[in-house]
Structure 1
Amino acid sequence: MNDPSNVPGRWWHALADGRIQCDLCPRDCKLHEGQRGLCFVRQREGDEMRLTTYGRSSGFCIDPIEKKPLNHFYPGSAVLSFGTAGCNLACKFCQNWDISKSREMDRLMDTASPERIAAAAKDSGALSVAFTYNDPVIFAEYAMDTADACHAQGVKTVAVTAGYMHAEPRREFYAKMDAANVDLKAFTESFYQQQTGSHLAPVLDTLQYLHHETDCWLEITTLLIPGLNDSVQEIEQMTRWIADHLGPDVPLHFTAFHPDYKMGDIGPTPKATLTRSREIALANGLHHVYTGNVHDTAGGTTHCPGCHAALIERDWHAITRYELTADGACPHCATPIAGRFAGGLGKGFGRRRIPVRMALS
């Protein structure tokens, strides 16, 4: 396996003043010798960029694909999930802050080569590998090498990401991904600046790029935070934008916030807010809108956009009813359902969560 302390990073250039600039994401971090970018894991060593977390993970786990959340990407299948440390956003509400905000490399307790990860997924029966927990953008080289190893084994790949990435690395990265769930944190520039330390426009660019210019299956998640991004007006504007720019078939997940990290003083999202937001999105023409982080069978059900029959019912992450045909169509009216489907998965993996320990290879 590549030495984790000696893996060159890509997407950077030298500046006239002696610094080097990272070109991976719109932060454009400019680094002197020994400095790290805001993500913490990309570091200047000498006259080049290094990725300091290649081959090192905060842990591996087999999950239901619905937990990513992906409801239209081989429902009922298992996914081998892992992340590293660090993040290129600074979200005050981060729900995985112990990983994404970590500055301690000793949190990276497990090690595995791309080939070992692919083999473990294959051996476990997982259909895919997900790069998640923290944002795979910042460990793109490791994720891309792992994707190549997975595809060689017939295993698919999933990116769970905030979508904050420059165009050139984005093109290379998503050429190796079979599916992505992109966090659309809010629909105002002020929220992105004040709550995440980033900008909205690059995320919207990523969403449009993924949907219109790649074969990568796309779903969107918005964590609704009371008083910050959950107003009727903002949900109206966001869902109309999705309908107009991405079309009606991109699944949208509204998930509930719980007090965490720097937002311990804000209460959890009421279930009524999720239901209201889902109703707004459906009224604006979106076909597949879901609720998450709350128990809501209605908000977890996939309906046919043609005859409105309930086709996939979910109880949390477990599928309790599955009526799609083998090629992903409604059995009642033959309307194709947008997504990636395969016969025989059905109720599938369920709600299990199985930790996996990797051996160094």
Structure 2
Amino acid sequence: MKEALYYDKSQDGGVRCRLCPQFCRIKEGAKGFCGVRINQGGSLYTLNYGRVASLALDPVEKKPLYHFHPGGMILSAGTVGCNLSCLFCQNWSISREVQTPTEPMTVEDLIVQARRLDSFGIAYTYNEPFIWYEFVVEAAEAARGAGLKNVLVTNGFVNPEPLAELLPYIDAANIDIKSIRDDFYKKVCSGGAGPVLETIKAMAGRCHVELTNLLIPTLNDSPEDISGLVDWIAANVGPNIPLHFSRYFPCYKMTIPPTPPEKLFEAQAIAEKKLKHVHLGNI
């Protein structure tokens, strides 16, 4: 284990994690919402530092990033844990099942692997990379020194201070914006929309950013939902930011039937009125 960053101690032996907007208050021996940060002896420790659950060489388009090193291959690494609990999670076996087996890996191991596989960089992905924060900060700084690019595939649900510390080492990010509506985040993801929108604004212009929106029938696929999302993007980050609409399939705790392809084409038509780069995925 490694002592966590961004937390406060209290006199009663509890701690308050400040990494993400969950702001977990954690008693002695208990874990935070993410499942991988534990209070031991009145100090907060991370359980997933240097632990890898998934490692693969992927096309960068799979992240999805269509406008960053197109055609390139990138070493992709992830661990366990997440600070949201989306009912439709496609990677629930590592994001919510934090007892999934992992393998030890040092920062140096990761860089050696990237070079051996002729990867142009490292993508922190599969689970939520901000929950792997202590490792990702060290790895991103070392990778930058080794001439490698750093990519985040993230839900964007993070506090401004830790984001600001990591951002100078990040070259590109795909941020998953679940919905423009806060009630969707609260009901379906156990989170909130506001911090994600602030993350998007903070990262846009500082690194290459693309956005992904998973369209789920009856929950966030109405013309009003799409227009609201597109209007916010155009007004706050501009028309040049790429937006990916992705097709939903039943997974984890959600049994709603798959998104009809025509819904994605409808969303694309709405978005292309204000955005220049609109892509469809999972169809």
Fold match (TM-score > 0.5): yes
Structure 1 residue 119: deviation in Å? 1.3
Aligned mates of 1:289, 1:14 — CA distance in 2: 45
3-state SS in 2 of match to 1:149 = helix
Question: Which of 122, 131, 150 is matched with 2:124 structurally?
Answer: 131
Q: What amino acid does structure 2 have at the position aligned with 1:25?
A: C
Question: Which of 4, 23, 26 is matched with 1:9 structurally?
Answer: 4
Q: What amino acid does structure 2 have at the position aligned with 1:51?
A: T
Unpaired runs of 5+ residues, structure 1, are 295-361
Aligned mates of 1:53, 1:211 — CA distance in 2: 28
Question: Which of 250, 256, 268 is matched with 1:278 structurally?
Answer: 268
Structure 1 residue 16: deviation in Å? 4.7
Structure 2 length-normalised TM: 0.98
Determine if the alignment matches structure 1 residue 267 to structure 2 residue 257. Answer: yes
User: What's 1:49 paired with?
Assistant: 44
Structure 1 residues 97-154: Cα deviation after superposition (integer angstroms, max 9, x where no partner): 111111315x21x221111101110121111111111000111110111112211221
Q: What amino acid does structure 1 have at the position aligned with 2:236?
A: H
Aligned mates of 2:142, 2:263 — CA distance in 1: 42
Question: Which of 110, 118, 129 is matched with 2:111 structurally?
Answer: 118
Structure 1 residue 174: deviation in Å? 1.6
Question: Which of 181, 185, 205 is matched with 2:198 structurally?
Answer: 205
Query: What are the equivalent positions in structure 2 for 1:1-361 lying under 5 Å apart?
Result: 5=1, 7-105=2-100, 107-108=101-102, 110-212=103-205, 214=206, 216-264=207-255, 266-283=256-273, 285-294=274-283
3-state SS in 1 of match to 2:94 = helix
Runs of 4+ in 1 over 2 A off after TM superposition: 15-18
Aligned mates of 1:241, 1:64 — CA distance in 2: 29
Structure 1 residue 59: deviation in Å? 2.1
- Higher RCO (Cα < 8 Å, 6 or more apart): 1
Q: Are the equivalent residues in 2 in contact too, given 1:63–1:79 (CA < 8 A)?
A: yes
3-state SS in 2 of match to 1:79 = strand
Q: What RMSD in Å do the two structures reach over aligned CA positions?
A: 1.0
Aligned mates of 2:146, 2:13 — CA distance in 1: 43
Q: What amino acid does structure 2 have at the position aligned with 1:250?
A: I
3-state SS in 1 of match to 2:115 = helix
Aligned mates of 2:181, 2:27 — CA distance in 1: 33
Structure 1 residues 13-57: Cα deviation after superposition (integer angstroms, max 9, x where no partner): 123544210000010101111111010111111121111111111
What number of residue pairs does the alignment pair up?
Answer: 283
Structure 1 length-normalised TM: 0.77
Structure 1 residue 178: deviation in Å? 0.9
Q: Are the equivalent residues in 1 in contact too, given 2:3–2:45 (CA < 8 A)?
A: yes
Structure 1 residues 196-250: Cα deviation after superposition (integer angstroms, max 9, x where no partner): 01111010000111114x2x11110000001100000110011011001100111
Aligned mates of 2:11, 2:193 — CA distance in 1: 30
3-state SS in 1 of match to 2:244 = strand
Structure 1 residue 9: deviation in Å? 0.6
Q: What amino acid does structure 2 have at the position aligned with 1:290?
A: H
Percent of counterpart pairs with the same letter? 40
Question: Which has a greater percent of helix?
Answer: 2
